Chain A
Amino acid sequence: MVLASIIIAITAITLTQVPSPPQAATSTKAREVQELREGLALQQQQRDAEAIAIFREVLRQRPDFAEAHSALGYSLGRQNDFAGAVSEFETAIGLQPTLQEAHFRLGVMYWLSGEFVRAITPLRAAVKLRPGHLESHFYLGRCLQQTGNLREAITELRRAATLGPKLAEVQSALGGALAAAEDFEGAEASLRRAISLRPDLIEARNQLGLALIEQRRADAAVTELEAARRLAPTDRATLHNLGLALMQKADYNAAIASYESLLRLAPDDAEAWYNLGLAFKYKDDFAAAIRAFEKCIALQPRLQEAHYSLGITLLQQGVIDKAIDAFRGAIIAKPDFAEAFYLLGTALQQKGETGEAVASFRKAIAIAPLSPQYHNTLGNALRQQGDLAAARAEFAEAARLNKLKTDAQAALFATNLGIQRLNEGRISEAIERLTEALRLDPDNATARRYLELATRRTNRSGKSGKTGR
């Protein structure tokens, strides 16, 4: 809801700048231009129905009037006639490919209808035709972010932020993109700037809360999201995110309270039921967790996580048959759900259906071959079937994969300590740690880079030492 109002506000600002008078070569044309202006005036007063009538009249007289098509498209869009709007913008572009506003509006129209990939082409054209048009950069950035092109998205949003440094919405969007790219420091700076510009910008507070959750800074996230809740006590996104932060903080009672508040506002919010179930499960209130998961599934049968968590909770209680049903539900919802195959296998094995369990473990491994626990459970099932040699092979593979994980962790510690020592000027210790990191994890690019740096520093100090002597 908040987002939509931002979009309309920005687009409306654009419209006040759009009506550049066409080149009036004849008196007829001059009349049509005059009529177009009258329509635009009505449009500015939100009197779109009247404006549409005028634009249609203008176009009846002059069907190749590109600006009029664009103006008509805009009013149609505001009347929720997206198809009509798109058609008018496309006609305008066909008539006048350099008409930047038509490209821009077409892009925004696609954005509003969630067609982010289709929005990118007209928005790129809008940026190209009018470099420095803040809104075009802004929407292009947002669409690129939505399609996963974070690098370009951040470039466009940075450009928008440069053009409109006081626009909180732009700072907020930039912060969101930076957070998505895991540049949490940059994200936090942008989002805090957005909040300082507009303390009531709930979207920015939510983005900041999520960024802090990503960094596992649960206390700080709760602080931001509590502030957002005070500003907008019924904002659903805020209550969702606050619940997440409270769960991360292990404050399950408060998380439950947050989700229950949300569900009073939106009783059919399946994700809220799911998160409520998780909070109950974390505090070992299994009956309440199961009720919440079942409610979630009733509302959204395709939410695989709900089936999965329900299965785990039932398994934990030793309710094997129902757990099996739940895991099968998760697999129906997501046919490549490796964890669900693995736990289905575990439940089947507990029930004594070893053959089916083996098949399920093998499916899990086919999807995610690097999970050691899948190999262990397969090994157990094979041993149960009497195939000790195959079982041992699976146990050995699990042990190998576990070792890779612990070695990677050790390499991370050694790398970070090496960097710290390097920063402290303790070069030989840094080299020792970074070398150790590479021994444990030869693909560790960070360790390699810093080791090269440390070695260069050693060489430099060695050379300067010689010169000094």
Chain B
Amino acid sequence: MMIGLLGLGAGIAAIAGLGWQAPEVPRVTISNVAAAAGLKHRTIYGGEQKNKYLLETTGCGVAWIDFDNDGWQDIFFVNGTRLEGWPKGVGREEPPISRLYRNNGNGTFTDVTRAAGVGRTGWGQGVCAGDFDNDGDEDLFVTYYGKNLLWRNNGNGTFTEVGEKAGVAGLRTRWGSGCAFIDYDRDGRLDLVVANYIDLDLKTAPTPESGPCLYKGLMVACGPPGLQGAKNILYHNEGGGLFTDVSAKAGIPATSGTYGLGVLTSDFDNDGWTDIYVANDSAPATLYHNKRDGTFTDIAAEAGAAYSGDGKPQAGMGVAAADYDGDGWLDIFKTNFSGDTSTLYHNLGTKLGGLVFDDVTFPSGIGLNTRWLGWGCGFPDIDNDGWPDILLVNGHVYPEVIRLNNEAGYPQRKVLYQNLRNGSFRDITEKVGGALIEPTASRGAAFGDYDNDGDLDVVINPVNGTPALLRTDSETGNNWLTVRLQGTKSNRSGFGARLRLTAEGRTQINDARSGGSYYSQNDGRVHFGLGMATRVTRLEIAWPSGTVDTYNDLPVNRLIVCKEGDGGK
């Protein structure tokens, strides 16, 4: 887009003229503390050396969820299985199950899966969290190749699976992928959007040999091109624990995008209504614009957010949103296949008559990396300077690539881009080093502050490996504020609320949201880095109900809980 790029270019020149200097590499340390923290289970997903079907490649998501409401973020890991299954019997290995870890508040976690009753096996995929029944505790929705599960939090440390009863289990033949709770009609109840990947029938699916399907000379799992793409689903929350599939009525199937994976919900056009962005694999991405009447229209192509800047569909995996340049519009980051770049879409807003994004991947410096195959991603303000950075986790799709002398390999390092505060980013992965360099066959990644120390940590769910918990320790001296929302008229989780924070004359925005990244759920609290600001001048929360709460002159370096309607009191 001309205007965006010209604006950006002029901006860089002007700042440079005033003696602008790139910020120093932040003094942060990132360590993998998973084992010491007690996260020791193994995620199982498909064959370790060779995959017959694409089903064995997608991996699992992970969620930050404070399921016991103690103020500490707990972790839910989705788990998978193998094609050959896990035969039952004496002496046989236990099948892999999803895991729930309670945060002990001292840097360690306890596996409470069995006590909580959430240990299910199967081809687990994505996870999202939200208080769908507005009872004050967070529930979980987990997608599967097979029937999806809705875990209602009983409020006593246990969960009850109510997916079938609630009407969101779906069909056994369906391949659920990314998901998010969203109050799309602002009725105060969380609805549910579920992406679906492929209508996969293993009886007729091509194998690497029958396809035949080759990647750099290697026989690999076929697809998704050539396989039947699946349709996304929108469930409306009717209350009373019941959902209705309103996909057709809402216009959800009317998109040229298919093979949905990551799901992101945000108000991209600043109209107060939450939109939905879906990263599609090998297909144009979908941007469901909320028409405020219970229906959506896919505007991704005409908004410039469907394809790469050169008009090609990309293998979208993970998605994240943030206002990285502070212009008041939420931008989109999307991870893609190796040999391609991740994509950064700069939101130009609606001044051209409709919502318009500009692919700034190359001018922003994101386009320099083409070796990594990205999955989970986020915009964590890793150094709390008030400018969202970008972190993505990587790993190749095909385990067969270990036979290639390819530097990127099957397990891959992460990438951390520092926001240079001028619309561009710098890859500082090797400068920060540590756990970022460790290769992992990563899939899901969720961002949150598990130790409540004010900097954002990352939990990663790999395929056929043990989790990583990347703890960030900062020596920047920068300040922060974390906001936990509690809706009253609006949904209890506060999802869809727009937060607008001003400190030292600079305003940042973000939305409270469910889902995001790849198949994962970030910390539901909204985190702001504040740089050296010692007070927050103003925090405005626009709730989905229409209520606007305003808080003035807030202290920093703390978590605040904002209950709808209490603003300014």
Q: How far is the CA of A410 from the CA of B313 in the complex (A)?
A: 17
CB pair B2–A349 under 8 Å, yes or no, is yes
CB pair A284–B371 under 8 Å, yes or no, is yes
Q: Mark A108-121, 1 if CB is under 8 A from B, else 0.
A: 00000000000000
Contacts of B256-311 to chain A: CB distance below 8 A: 256, 283-284, 301-302, 304, 306-307, 309-311
CB pair B301–A395 under 8 Å, yes or no, is yes
Q: How far is the CA of A253 from the CA of B406 in the complex (A)?
A: 9
Q: How far is the CA of A403 from the CA of B362 in the complex (A)?
A: 28
Q: How far is the CA of A373 from the CA of B359 in the complex (A)?
A: 15
Contact of A254 among B6, B227, B365, B405 (CB under 8 A): B405
CB pair B225–A406 under 8 Å, yes or no, is yes
CB pair B302–A420 under 8 Å, yes or no, is no
Contact of A416 among B3, B210, B310, B403 (CB under 8 A): B210
Which residues from chain B contact A376 at a C-beta distance below 8 Å? 301, 306-307, 311-312
CB pair B310–A343 under 8 Å, yes or no, is yes
CB pair B367–A405 under 8 Å, yes or no, is no
A402 adjacent to chain B (CB < 8 Å): yes
CB pair B302–A391 under 8 Å, yes or no, is yes
- Chief secondary structure at chain A's binding surface: helix
Which residues from chain A contact B370 at a C-beta distance below 8 Å? 282, 284, 316
Q: Mark B315-357, 1 if CB is under 8 A from A, else 0.
A: 0000000000000000000000000010000000000111010
CB pair A342–B310 under 8 Å, yes or no, is yes
Which residues from chain A contact B242 at a C-beta distance below 8 Å? none
Q: How far is the CA of A110 from the CA of B211 in the complex (A)?
A: 46
CB pair B310–A252 under 8 Å, yes or no, is no
A380 touching B304 in the complex, CB below 8 Å, given contacts A249-B405, A402-B313, A410-B228: yes
Q: How far is the CA of A318 from the CA of B367 in the complex (A)?
A: 8
Contact of A346 among B3, B225, B310, B406 (CB under 8 A): B310
| Minimal beta-carbon separation of B214 from chain A (angstroms) | 5
A316 touching B367 in the complex, CB below 8 Å, given contacts A218-B216, A249-B217, A349-B2: yes
Which residues from chain A contact B3 at a C-beta distance below 8 Å? 352, 384
Which residues from chain B contact A406 at a C-beta distance below 8 Å? 225-226, 283
CB pair A251–B405 under 8 Å, yes or no, is yes
Contact of B363 among A318, A383, A384, A405 (CB under 8 A): A318
Contact of A316 among B6, B356, B368, B401 (CB under 8 A): B368
CB pair B206–A417 under 8 Å, yes or no, is yes
Which residues from chain A contact B405 at a C-beta distance below 8 Å? 249-251, 253-254
Number of interface residues of A (CB under 8 A): 58
Q: Which of the listed residues A316, A374, A388 has the most CB atoms from chain B within 10 Å of its own CB? A: A316
| Minimal beta-carbon separation of B352 from chain A (angstroms) | 8
| Minimal beta-carbon separation of A355 from chain B (angstroms) | 10
A197 adjacent to chain B (CB < 8 Å): no
Chain A residue at smallest Cβ distance from B213? A413
Q: How far is the CA of A349 from the CA of B3 in the complex (A)?
A: 10
Chain B residue at smallest Cβ distance from A353? B2
A398 touching B226 in the complex, CB below 8 Å, given contacts A218-B216, A317-B362: no
Contact of B301 among A283, A354, A399 (CB under 8 A): A399
Q: How far is the CA of A309 from the CA of B307 in the complex (A)?
A: 21
CB pair A318–B365 under 8 Å, yes or no, is yes
B204 adjacent to chain A (CB < 8 Å): yes
| Minimal beta-carbon separation of B110 from chain A (angstroms) | 42
Contact of B362 among A253, A318, A384, A399 (CB under 8 A): A318
Which residues from chain B contact A216 at a C-beta distance below 8 Å? 214, 216-217
CB pair A380–B204 under 8 Å, yes or no, is no
Q: How far is the CA of A388 from the CA of B355 in the complex (A)?
A: 12
Contacts of A303-357 to chain B: CB distance below 8 A: 315-318, 320, 342-343, 346, 349-354
- Chief secondary structure at chain B's binding surface: loop
Q: How far is the CA of A320 from the CA of B360 in the complex (A)?
A: 12
B212 adjacent to chain A (CB < 8 Å): yes
A249 touching B216 in the complex, CB below 8 Å, given contacts A254-B405, A377-B311: yes
Which residues from chain A contact B214 at a C-beta distance below 8 Å? 216
Q: How far is the CA of A373 from the CA of B304 in the complex (A)?
A: 13
Give the size range of B's interface with the partner. 35 or more
B369 adjacent to chain A (CB < 8 Å): yes
CB pair B5–A352 under 8 Å, yes or no, is yes
| Minimal beta-carbon separation of B345 from chain A (angstroms) | 12
Q: How far is the CA of A392 from the CA of B306 in the complex (A)?
A: 13
Chain A residue at smallest Cβ distance from B206? A413
A219 adjacent to chain B (CB < 8 Å): yes
CB pair B302–A416 under 8 Å, yes or no, is no
Q: How far is the CA of A318 from the CA of B359 in the complex (A)?
A: 12
Q: How far is the CA of A254 from the CA of B306 in the complex (A)?
A: 37
Chain B residue at smallest Cβ distance from A379? B301
B407 adjacent to chain A (CB < 8 Å): yes
| Minimal beta-carbon separation of B258 from chain A (angstroms) | 9
Contact of A417 among B5, B210, B217, B356 (CB under 8 A): B210
Q: How far is the CA of A373 from the CA of B284 in the complex (A)?
A: 11
CB pair B311–A251 under 8 Å, yes or no, is no
Q: Which of the listed residues B228, B284, B301, B311 has the most CB atoms from chain A within 10 Å of its own CB? A: B311
Q: How far is the CA of A70 from the CA of B217 in the complex (A)?
A: 52
Q: How far is the CA of A397 from the CA of B392 in the complex (A)?
A: 33
Which residues from chain A contact B228 at a C-beta distance below 8 Å? 410
A217 adjacent to chain B (CB < 8 Å): yes
Which residues from chain B contact A391 at a C-beta distance below 8 Å? 302
A416 touching B212 in the complex, CB below 8 Å, given contacts A248-B217, A379-B301: yes
Q: Mark B222-246, 1 if CB is under 8 A from A, else 0.
A: 1001111000000000000000000
Q: A216-B216, A251-B406, A351-B5 are in contact. List 5 more A-B contacts (CB 8 A).
A: A216-B217, A346-B310, A350-B5, A379-B302, A413-B222
Q: List 29 A-B contacts (CB under 8 A).
A: A216-B217, A218-B216, A249-B216, A284-B370, A284-B371, A316-B362, A316-B370, A317-B368, A318-B367, A320-B363, A342-B310, A346-B310, A351-B2, A352-B2, A352-B5, A353-B2, A354-B2, A379-B302, A380-B1, A380-B311, A388-B353, A398-B301, A398-B311, A399-B256, A399-B301, A409-B226, A413-B226, A416-B206, A416-B211
The 9 closest A-B pairs by CB, nearest first: A376-B311, A409-B226, A373-B311, A352-B2, A251-B405, A218-B217, A377-B311, A250-B406, A395-B301
**A-contacting residues of B (Cβ < 8 Å)?**
1-3, 5-6, 204, 206, 210-212, 214, 216-217, 222, 225-228, 256, 283-284, 301-302, 304, 306-307, 309-313, 341, 352-354, 356, 362-365, 367-371, 401, 403-407
**B-contacting residues of A (Cβ < 8 Å)?**
216-219, 248-254, 282-284, 286, 315-318, 320, 342-343, 346, 349-354, 372-377, 379-380, 383-384, 386, 388, 391-392, 395, 398-399, 402-403, 405-406, 409-410, 412-413, 416-417, 420, 433
